[in-house]
Structure 1
Amino acid sequence: MAPNFRRLMPLFMLLALLLPILVACGGAPAATPTDAPVAQATDAPAATAVPEPTAAPEATAEPEPTVAPEPTTPPATGDVVQLPEVNPADYSGDIIIAGSSTVFPLTERMAELFIEDGFTGQITIDSIGSGAGYERFCTAAESDIANASRPIRDTELAACETSGRPALEFRVGTDALAVVVSTENDFITNATIEELAEIFGTATNWSDVNSSWPNEPIQRFIPGTDSGTFDYFVEEVFDEDPAVMLSASNTQLSEDDNVLVQGILGSPYAIGFFGYAYYEENASRLNILDIEGVEPTAESTEDGSYPLARPLFIFSAANIMAEKPQVAAFINYYLTFVGDEVVDVGYFPASVNAINAAKNRWLQATGGEVEPIALPEVDPSAFSGDIIIAGSSTVFPLTERMAELFIEDGFTGQITIDSIGSGAGYERFCTAAESDIANASRPIRDTELAACETSGRPALEFRVGTDALAVVVSTENDFITNATIEELAEIFGTATNWSDVNSSWPNEPIQRFIPGTDSGTFDYFVEEVFDEDPAVMLSASNTQLSEDDNVLVQGILGSPYAIGFFGYAYYEENASRLNILDIEGVEPTAESTEDGSYPLARPLFIFSAANIMAEKPQVAAFINYYLTFVGDEVVDVGYFPASVRAINAAKTNWLEAN
């Protein structure tokens, strides 16, 4: 094992930048716009326990391969995120890990190092396959960390939610699936995807695939069906249908990759596949095949040219890390040092963007101090083309401001922004697939997410600010300055006259002006005031609805007995003519919206998709610009800034998509 000093030296050098651990729980600055032309529209192996040591354990020596690629860390497109320093000696207790046999050797290495550097507790790691690992973590709720060599499925995520442990993804590396034969095999060095489908499926003899190959039965050794390796191979080679491979003759399945290695070594006519690390351990006895003529290397796995490369993950949950600080500390340590170890174990590094995303999830889950992420610099003048945006009227003025600045700083294309409400914006983005960006003043719903998936544009969320709903009256109203949630339910629902709510108020009919039902503002108010049931409010007399907040403002200005609600920005525009109410005695301010004391505060979003940003680089550039400079503009527009954590999460989504 390498000495501790080698791994700790970077921490000493960065000490001035690091903060105490809390595991217990581009472009140039934009100028002010003038008249920017924005168009407005309208296996079953036994568990491996890493023992509680009295002295630092010796790491298991890794065999040196005869031939191995030289992986290099992929380049960063943003600053490297630093996590707070963690001292393993400060922690004890148990850490229970189960899942992918592919991720097993990497997690085992990080566990050994964590113990060597002082952890006095017990780390148990079960190699049982990704699916079984998710089951043990999500459904059985028996493990603290799940190793996985495939992304978590919606059903597994739902099981995690049901068991009270919402899964957090931490990307830790990249694996290339190795398709291997014995060194005694002298006839195959490369295979196409089509040939793999025959070799592992329809063919009986090697000569059935290629007449120049031996007329000998193919002997197949493949991972078990609960393995992420199995799932990934089936997805890439058999179009997600495993039936043919599972019915092929001479096929042996095992969750233990060592069993597969031994089987392949037994015959020159055997073939199998597993994680690259297991090839590395046996490189002197196995030959690895190129796939579609591409050798698995750090470059070919990162750039996507090698057809059988995949990400590696560990999963945990914020509440687990709060209840078991040793789990949070281990994940911190894992993410901090995995880049130093992943190549030696036999995998390729995850990109800096992916590791940054994992580190930011850790910071958000543990409440650690966060520094803003810097996105790559963009020059708006380098982009043209159209950008089509539609959705929330609340987010409209903020997006309009960012579009004006983007154009002022050189963008030569056309930006169209429709103010049609959050629901209609999601429909236009997800179902109609007619817009590039959706403005939204409420989170996207499961049905809308599914519509986005169906239309081939998986929605990515970018938090851009915080809005306080403003409940307002005319300055001619001299009797109401504060309202409770219960009073709001009467004012906008059951009461007819003001005096029905408070006998000291005028015996005059309440005139109500509210956003349209397709508005995120409407949804949010109904959720907070009417327990998600709009029926009473919609049936109240003297109620006018409009998706245009300016119509609501004009209505309220027309009478001292009128009242309405909309986004805070529209109050700001008319503050000299409107009075804003305190709610439950709390004034809407930056502090009260951020700390949650103001009852009617909500997040603001824009949504897009990775494939849209790839097809239309101007969209990616605009979102980058938006996230980079929104903090400079959001207050002037009339909203409150999103927290650094929320903006970092949005920037991380951008980095991962680009």
Structure 2
Amino acid sequence: MKIRSSLVLLGSLVLSAQALARDFIYVVGSSTVYPFTTTVAEHFAKSTKFPAPKVESTGTGGGMKLFCEGVGVQHPDLENASRRIKPSEFEACRKNGVKEIVEIKIGYDGIVVAHARRSPPWNGLTLKQLWLALAKQVPDPKGGEKLIANPYKTWRQIDPSLPDLAIRVYGPPPTSGTRDAFAELALEGGCSQFPWIQALKEKDEARFKQICQTVREDGAYIEAGENDTLIVRKLEADPSALGVFGYSFLDQNLDQIAGVPINGVEPSFENIAQGSYPVSRPLYIYAKKAHVGMIPGLAEFLQEYTSEKAFGEEGYLTDKGLIPMPKEEREKYRNVARNLIPLDTL
């Protein structure tokens, strides 16, 4: 027992010594959550004695990989995530010694489909039309329960009411939480409009997800990296194309781009907050409890993030496009942050 206690003490001393090598908070992860965290970081640096946190946009998946690699100053303290941590990521963290992960929901976001303001007008899309445009395989237009390689080249081929434009959509890569959420909420939502495919969900969920979430690779969907600002620029340069990204990027660029209504609902702050917009999702940050006390200001940063002045109904993050949670949820996650309550299981 003495040997074990000595090893534990030695490990703590090593981590404490390592902490001296870094006096700033290090954050990785989602490009969608990035603007919110950098805004909190700016307020935090101005209002405290602590250095400004370093925030990197790596995508949710790439950030989780870095976050879960271990404990110590060579590893990130926080992860921005535009989806919840996956069970496989949670287990990878635990395997590498990251055993006390604090999960904090910060608010909600919508995933929008947008176009340049100078492009031809768009009256709206349904989830079904969106899936038919982007899926690798779709039901045979001739009928029957048969899948074929996606034959649609223009939007009008899918529905006569849509613009006669080539299908070209700029969007996030597979490492992005936005891509994960888009696949689950939008593509599965459209795919499920076909009863025989929806029936597969009960019989063979893996097959159902493969059909619904696999995106075509013939150039109609163009992976534009983890930088959502780049997609906005792509739309300006290519006005006949559409782009997929978080609502906050639409909100910050309304002079250049416009959102496409989905299932007849505009992608607006009010519609996302009310839950009527069909493609919305929660956003998170994850913290290593083991780093609190080692990295100066980490606990204080979490308290700043979950303060009413930040993620409240009239907080400064709403100016950046974050959709605030109801009061009860805000209080719940403020308590999690204050008391550093770790996530037990998923």
The reply on whether 1:286 has 2:257 as its aligned counterpart is yes
Paired amino acid for 2:124 = N
Say which of 336, 339, 342 aligns to 1:361.
336
**Residues 322 and 366 in structure 1, CA contact (< 8 A), matched pair in contact too:** no
1:169-208 superposed matches below 5 A:
169-201=103-135, 202=150, 203-208=152-157
- Separation in structure 1 between the aligned mates of residue 341 and residue 51 of structure 2, nearest angstrom: 21
1:217 to 137, 148, 166: 166
Deviations 1:276-308 (A, max 9, x none): 111122111111011111123344323322111
Q: Where does residue 345 of structure 1 map in the other structure?
A: 320
Q: Post-superposition shift, 1:164?
A: 2.4
CA displacement 1:570-623 (0-9 Å, x = unmatched): xxxxxxxxxxxxxxxxxxxxxxxxxxxxxxxxxxxxxxxxxxxxxxxxxxxxxx
Which stretches in structure 2 are left out of the alignment for 5+ residues?
A: 1-21, 136-149, 189-208
2:78 is matched by which residue type in structure 1?
A: I
CA distance in 1, matches of 2:232, 2:269: 23
Match of residue 227 from structure 1: 176
Q: Is the 8 A contact 2:183 2:213 kept in 1?
A: no
Maintained 8 Å contact 1:204/1:249: no
Partner residue, 1:94: 24
CA RMSD after TM alignment:
2.3
Partner Cα distance (1:213, 1:192) in 2: 11
Which of the numbers 161, 165, 168 marks the counterpart of 2:94?
161
Q: Give the Å deviation of 1:212.
A: 4.0
268, 271, 291: which one aligns with 1:300? 271
1:408-439 Cα distance to aligned partner (Å, 9 max, x none)? xxxxxxxxxxxxxxxxxxxxxxxxxxxxxxxx
Instruction: Give the Å deviation of 1:102.
Output: 0.2
Give the Cα–Cα distance (whole angstroms) in 2 for the partners of residues 227 and 317 of structure 1: 21
Q: 1:208 to 1:135 in 2, by over 3 A?
A: same
Q: State the 1:266 CA deviation.
A: 1.9
- The structure-2 alpha-carbon separation of the partners of 1:172 and 1:162, relative to structure 1 and needing over 3 Å to count, comes to same
String of CA shifts for 1:529-585, please: whole Å, max 9, x gaps.
xxxxxxxxxxxxxxxxxxxxxxxxxxxxxxxxxxxxxxxxxxxxxxxxxxxxxxxxx
CA offset digits 1:491-517 (Å, max 9, x no partner): xxxxxxxxxxxxxxxxxxxxxxxxxxx
Equivalent position amino acid for 2:236 in 1: L
Which whole-Å CA distance do the structure 2 matches of 1:303 and 1:366 have between them? Answer: 29
CA contact (8 A) 1:96 1:123 kept: yes
SS at match of 2:329: helix
Give me the whole-angstrom Cα distance separating, in 1, the residues matched to 2:97 and 2:70.
11
1:255 pairs, out of 213, 219, 226, with 226
Higher relative contact order (Cα pairs below 8 Å, separated by 6+ residues): 2
Partner of 1:158, secondary structure, is helix
Cα deviation 1:213-255 (Å, max 9, x = unaligned)? 4433222100111111000001113334476424242332111
Q: Aligned partners of 2:96, 2:332: CA distance in 1, in Å?
A: 25
Q: Which has the larger radius of gyration?
A: 1
Query: What is the identity, as a one-letter code, of the residue corresponding to 1:150?
Result: R
What is the rounded CA distance, in whole Å, between the counterparts of 2:155 and 2:119 in structure 1? 12
Instruction: Give the distance between the partners of 2:128 and 2:304, measured in 1 at CA.
Output: 42
TM-score by length of 2: 0.75
On the 8 A contact 1:199/1:209 being kept in 2, the answer is: yes
Q: Say if 2:77 is the partner of 1:144.
A: yes
CA distance in 2, matches of 1:249, 1:331: 42
Q: 1:133 to 1:215 in 2, by over 3 A?
A: same
Task: Flag structure 1 segments of 5+ consecutive residues without an equivalent.
Answer: 1-91, 368-443, 450-658
Alignment of 1:23-422 (within 5 A): 93-141=23-71, 142-165=75-98, 166-201=100-135, 202=150, 203-239=152-188, 240-241=209-210, 244-253=214-223, 254-336=225-307, 337-338=309-310, 339=312, 340-365=315-340
Tell me the SS of whatever aligns to 1:221: strand
